[in-house]
Amino acid sequence: MKRTRRLAGTAIFSLALAASAGRAQPLMSDQKMLMPATEPGVAPPNAPLLPIAPPRLGGPDLAFGAYQRGYYATALREAMQRVSADPTDAPAMTLVGEIYAEGLAVKRDLAEAARWFQLAADRGDRQARFALGLAKLRGEGVAKDLPGAKTLFLAAAAQDHAGALYNLGIMAIENNGVSSDFVKGAAYFRRSAELGNADAAYALGLLYRNGSGVERDDKAAVQWIGRAARENNVPAEVEYAIMLFNGVGVAKDEAAAGKLFLKAAVNNNPVAQNRVARLFAAGRGLPQNLIEAMKWHLIARTAGLKDAWLDSQLTQLTPKQKSEVEVAVHQYVGQ
């Protein structure tokens, strides 16, 4: 199977408000059974990248077409030929930089990637400005330079680069630990989300959920978090499912919440796995199934999410049920 990749990703961080950072909640009755998986905080500095689709490089493009199909050596050759024919071809330079940054058909070389991104950025390519901004933010291939990264993000944002806008939002909230500007962060997230960035839509929804930088508004939170969830943003799926289950800002729908939790659980989100375990155990939103409940509980617990109530349910299983749970866990892990 050919690998397909995208040009430099969007998120440098994920908000600590994210559902993946949530903690298991005690089982309670009715709407309190599942509580929000988010809590106010500042983005952790080492969260993973979340990619966005690459920009169109303009017209029929053999280099980028080959890149999309996974023919990286061909993509590099075509891009280099384009640069040789036209030393101002910034999109081709950006593509060369991405190939070196990812080590596709060549040895990974972050310094060489940054050099190509710089050449393209100097010629006004917004994707190159964004990629070089990420490199300076992380100190990958170039010296770490937060002000320089911000300058590049601002330049790319002026060209409506959704990823740059998202990262400016994160930087406004973090602000190097000085003072968070949630109002500015929300403005950046909104612009990015309106350009189709699911990470920004989720971040904006969380700000509405918590009343940070915007007036607290559960319906607006549902709108933006739901949009991100529909774009397969896994933490957004978890938060949206919790809002569906509890009927916060949206009509209560435990069955729809259960399906969404299960989708996120299969994508290895520990919070979703914990919630799915609770729903299977209680028969809420999902059919009662203690084997499935304990399977997901053990998987979530292995990821570090503890739950005393589910532990107590596990001890009540018969030896035969425990054996079935063990088989179910092994089957899932072995997939």
pLDDT (tens digit, 9 = 90+) per residue, 277-310? 999 999 999 999 999 999 999 999 999 999 999 9
Q: Using a CB cutoff of 8 Å and minimum separation of 24, what contacts does 97-100 make? A: 97/128, 97/131, 98/7, 98/8, 98/67, 98/131, 99/67, 99/72, 99/75
pLDDT of residue 177: 59
pTM above 0.85, yes or no: no
pLDDT of residue 46: 33
Q: Where are the domains of the chain?
A: 254-335
pLDDT (tens digit, 9 = 90+) per residue, 83-112? 999 999 999 999 999 999 999 999 999 999
Task: Round to whole Å and give the CA distance between 319 and 325.
Answer: 10
Q: Reply yes or no on whether the pLDDT at 6 is more than 60.
A: no
pLDDT of residue 205: 98
Per DSSP, the residues of 281-332 read HHTSSS---HHHHHHHHHHHHHTT---HHHHHHHHTS-HHHHHHHHHHHHHH
* CA nearest neighbour of 290 among 281, 303, 278: 281
3-state secondary structure of 101: helix
Q: Reply yes or no on whether the pLDDT at 40 is more than 80.
A: no
